Amino acid sequence: MEKNKFIKSKKELNLLVKSAKNGKAKSQHELAFYYYTGNNFKQNKSEAFKWWNLASKKDFAKAHFNLAMMYFNGDGIKKNIKKSYEYANLSIKKKHPWQSASYFFLAKNFYIDGLLNKKNFSKSLKYLIIASELGYLSADYYLGMIYRGEMHTGNLNQKRDNRLSFMYYKRAADKKFVPAIFEVVSMLINGEGTKKNLKKAYTYYKKIKNINSNELLENLSVRPRARKNLLKSIDKLRKLFEKSETKKKQKIKFDKKLQDFINKNLLITFSNGCKFTGMTKKDPKDKKKLIPHGLGYAIWPDGASYKGQYKNGTFDGWGHYVSPGSHEYIGVWKKGFFSNGQMKKENGENYNGEFKMSRMHGKGKMNFSGNYTYEGHWKDGDAHGKGKLTYLKKFEQHEKGKVMEGNFYKGRWHGNFRISYSNGETNKVKYNMGNFVKKLK
């Protein structure tokens, strides 16, 4: 069995205590550590504080950091945020294993959260970048949140840059930092800050696919509420990929069956010129006629085609309809109408979501030819209800990165909106049927 490096012999401990009493800072730090953890000595945080304080006076950087944490948490001593801040600043001045943690500690608690009225966004960003370069994964994660606009930093000047956000999230994800993995997967799926790449997204997802969700968070220092939200995100992504895998298998199976039918050349020509091959049944209204029922493929004189499932002569189930030079529907059909899935138009518009009577209706997201996206509620083909517009590039009078969140009515801005810009500036405004009314406080 390998010897535990923290367990010392009596002789080694006597030499350590002697060295510490003789003023050697490294020995004082090690002795403090044993008192703090309860290794080799009975746990005594007052003794730990005493020895770390002596080592700190000799400018031993690790001791500075440990004193900062003890004062911050009131751990074995009286809580003192001011002293914690002072020792953390001493800790960043010398290179040591916890230097990166010290930079992150100062950035998060003082320059972002504003303890001791020290809120300073530019300084927090500087310290987080240093912590990141020193290899501190939580700093990568925070930078990812900041550049994605997900850090609530009050009135601080918050810069938004999805490209940098993805870079920092990826840096942490590549070192198996679980929360960052899920952010990278999400950004790869949606093409945020990087090219949309479902294959890469799945590669990252596979890193944690077979691990129990609670196990994933076991070694993470997260608050109960954050843990709960993270578990929800994990479950959401699991369902997304499980559904994707199931759909892929179903489509392969479906295409194989359909091809078998087509190869048999079972052809029916209808009065409107439509030619159909596939599964049929007798028409309940006319027993002499056959109607599509089950898997099939149809093509019309104008070149339009449908391959998918039928029920009683109409599209019903999974299917793919193509109208050349116009649009196509890929997804689920009910009683002849498109119900849920993807609509792609020849002009580059691409919608994913819910439909009613083959019109956008319910929740969904539309990409308007790469210019901007709308995600939210729809009614009868128009944006209607709560939604969000995101401008992907400069379009008309709107700048790239501009985001408008609010209420829509029959495709028009109607009600209160929150508008945010790529430089971090935000405004609240009111519209009435697409017309600007006033700026809100």
3-class secondary-structure state, position 163 = helix
Query: Could you read off the pLDDT of 135-155 as tens digits, one per residue?
Result: 999 899 889 988 887 665 444
Written as one string, the DSSP assignment of 374-437 is EEEEEETTEEEEEEEEEESS-BTTBPTT-EEEEEEETTEEEEEEEEE-TTS-EEEEEEETTEEE
Mean pLDDT of 282-291: 87
3-class secondary-structure state, position 321 = strand
| Rounded-to-integer distance, Cα 202 and Cα 189, Å | 9
CATH class of 264-346: mainly beta
Q: Where in the chain is the domain with CATH 1.25.40.10?
A: 10-244
Topology of domain 10-244, CATH = 1.25.40
Mean pLDDT of 333-339: 95
Query: Could you read off the pLDDT of 182-218 as tens digits, one per residue?
Result: 788 888 888 889 998 878 888 887 776 655 555 555 5
Return the pLDDT at 154.
46
3-class secondary-structure state, position 293 = strand
Return the pLDDT at 248.
60
End-to-end alpha carbon distance in the chain? 67
CB atoms within 10 A of CB 155: 9
Return the pLDDT at 153.
47
E strand map for 284-326? 286-299, 305-311, 314-323
Mean pLDDT of 88-104: 94
Amino acid occupying residue 399: E
Instruction: Match 């959260």 to its residue by tokens.
Output: 113
Q: Which of 34-38, 195-199, 336-340, 397-401 has the lowest mean pLDDT?
A: 195-199
Q: Which of 33-42, 213-222, 227-236, 371-380 has the lowest mean pLDDT?
A: 213-222
3-class secondary-structure state, position 37 = helix
Return the pLDDT at 61.
93
Query: Could you read off the pLDDT of 72-90 as tens digits, one per residue?
Result: 999 999 999 999 999 999 9
Instruction: Give burial (CB, 10 Å; 0-12/13-18/19+) of 4.
Output: exposed
Q: Where in the chain is the domain with CATH 2.20.110.10?
A: 264-346
Mean pLDDT of 103-110: 94
Mean pLDDT of 366-383: 94
